[in-house]
Amino acid sequence: MHRFASLAGAALVLLLAACSGDPETRNVQEPGLSVTTAQLRATTMDRALVVSGSVAAWQEMTLGVELSGIRAAEVLVEVGDRVRAGSPLLRLDARTLTVQARQAEASVAQARANLDLARANVARGEQLVTQGLISSSDIDQLRAELASAEAQLITAQADRDAARLRLEFTTLRAPDDGVISARSVQPGQVVSAGEELLRMIRRGRLEWRAELAEADLSRVPVDALVELADPQGKRILGRVRAVSPAVDPATRTGLLYADLPEPGDLRAGMFAEGRVLLDRAEVGVLPRDAVVFRDGIPYVFVAGSPADTDAAVFNVAQRRVVIGSQQDDQIEIRDGVAAADRVVAQGAGFLSDGDLVREVSAHAAAAPRPDASQATP
């Protein structure tokens, strides 16, 4: 009992001493958060534009036939099939056109026979006119019949060639290598001239089209490297083949076109964010966590003067910055931070302008805090 009384008395003395202390000491503000700091670090970084765009076919060809009112007999391809130039894609019912082609061949044979007869008549007539057996008007008539027979043969041959061409039109062939991207025809369907039956991505070639702000258009050179990611996260590389020479007056943007030689799992119509690599330069960087975005504007928190009682305790000042490229966990700072500034790296997302903080080492900041519920009473 005497021991407990002694402890209680000592606690009471300490409490009275604390209450009778200096008012300024009692009002010292304690830091609300422990943070780590970092300074600008010089490094070589790829300068890049991060923009969004869509994957599209380099050229998507609409395929149809030049005949109307004919039934589709066979469709030889499916969506996704790779085809070679000249390979058959679709066949129409060619029976009627085959009969017409045979009739045209027969007309040519008849016209050729009439021409042979006309030539023979002229040859005999020329012998007879020299013998005075027929008049000059008779030989003129024979020669006119020969010219008519020659013209009839030419006409019959043209009709035959047209019939052959129509017969060839009953088979739709691939105009180039490519990939079938759409099909809107079925066997038995009656087709019309000019109607879209198939669509094909020419050579299977895809490209990425991204909108750039007018200030960035002149910064992107042709042949610049482009980095995308497919749905599986695989890195896809492309090359800028063209930059729009004009700007849309409504949006003040222009298009960038980048070839994708090996698109991976990317497909036409997909949306993709990409990086357009411009050059490499020596830049100042901070850890990515040091930059806080508020209302879309980037800020950092810079350490102020240390408190008198503890050099590791200080107020922070919120400062707007201009950022550039990002690489891994580093971000380029173009303006707003000096080389000597100490910037809050970990914990910046919880701060406000003027907050009092305590700086700790990065190792201490990363260490897990003990669970109060498991503390020993």
Question: Which pLDDT score, from 0 to 100, does residue 377 have?
Answer: 38
Residue 197 buriedness (CB in 10 A; 0-12 / 13-18 / 19+): buried
Decide if 117 is inside a domain.
yes
Q: Residue 258 sits in a domain of what CATH number?
A: 2.40.30.170
| pLDDT at 373 exceeding the cut of 60 | no
Whether the predicted pLDDT of 81 surpasses 60: yes
Residues 135 and 241 in one domain: no
**pLDDT at residue 370, rounded to an integer:** 46
Is 196 found in the same domain as 74? yes
pLDDT at 202: 94
**Domain membership flag for residue 293:** yes
Share of the chain above pLDDT 70, in %: 86
> Cα dist. 143→100, 124, 127, 139, 148 in Å?
32, 11, 13, 6, 9
pLDDT at 341 over 50: yes
For residue 16, is it within any domain?
no
Does any domain span residue 192? Answer: yes
239 and 314, same structural domain?
no
% of residues, the chain, pLDDT over 90: 62
Shared domain for 327 and 360, answered yes or no, is: yes
Residue 298 sits in the same domain as residue 317: yes
Structure tokens at 111: 């016209």
Q: What is the pLDDT of residue 31?
A: 75
Provide the pLDDT for residue 310: 59
Same domain, 77 and 180: yes
Range 98-107 average pLDDT: 96
**Section 199-209 average pLDDT:** 94
| Mean pLDDT along residues 189-200 | 95
Distance of alpha carbon 40 from alpha carbon 42, whole angstroms: 7
Give the per-residue pLDDT at 328: 80
pLDDT average, residue stretch 182-201: 95
pLDDT in tens, 234-244: 999 999 999 99
Out of 257, 281, 305, pick the residue that ends a domain: 281
pLDDT at 3: 44
Question: Counting runs of H as helices and runs of E as strands, what totals does the chain give?
Answer: 6, 22
**Are residues 273 and 262 part of one domain?**
yes
- Write the DSSP string, 328-357: TTEEEEEES--TT--EEEESGGG--TT-EE
Give the count of alpha carbons within 13 A of 363, CB side only: 0
CA distance 158 to 47: 65
pLDDT band at 363 (very low <50, low <70, confident <90, very high): low
Statement to judge: residues 194 and 74 lie in one domain: yes
Q: Are residues 200 and 86 in the same domain?
A: yes
Same-domain pairing of 99 and 160: yes
**Spatial distance between the Cα atoms of 301 and 139, rounded to a whole number of angstroms:** 112
Q: How far apart are CA 129 and CA 132, in angstroms?
A: 5
Per-residue confidence (pLDDT) for residue 83, from 0 to 100 = 96
pLDDT tens for 9-25 read: 444 434 444 444 444 44
Contact 205, 58 (CB under 8 A): yes
Domain assignment of residue 11, yes or no: no
Task: Provide the CATH number for the domain around residue 86.
Answer: 2.40.50.100
pLDDT at 376: 41
Q: Which residue among 229, 252, 281 closes a domain?
A: 281
Question: Domain ends where: 179, 204, 229?
Answer: 204
Q: How many domains is the chain partitioned into structurally?
A: 4
Q: What is the pLDDT of residues 116-169, one digit of tens each?
A: 999 999 999 988 888 888 888 888 999 999 999 999 999 999 999 999 999 999
Residue 21 located in a structural domain: no
DSSP of 80-91, one letter per residue?
T-EE-TT-EEEE
Q: Which of 210, 219, 220, 222 is nearest to 270 (CA)?
A: 210
Do 301 and 314 sit in the same domain of this protein?
A: yes
Q: Does 4 reside within a domain?
A: no
Residue 18 lies in a domain: no
Q: Give the range of the structural domain holding residue 101, as residue numbers without chain letter.
A: 94-169
Residue 366 pLDDT greater than 60, yes or no? no
Instruction: Round the average pLDDT of the chain to a whole number and report it.
Output: 86
Element (H, E) at 123: helix 95-130
Give the count of alpha carbons within 13 A of 124, CB side only. Answer: 6
**CATH number of the domain that 150 lies in?**
1.10.287
Q: 185 and 149, same structural domain?
A: no
CA 240/CA 261 separation, integer angstroms = 11
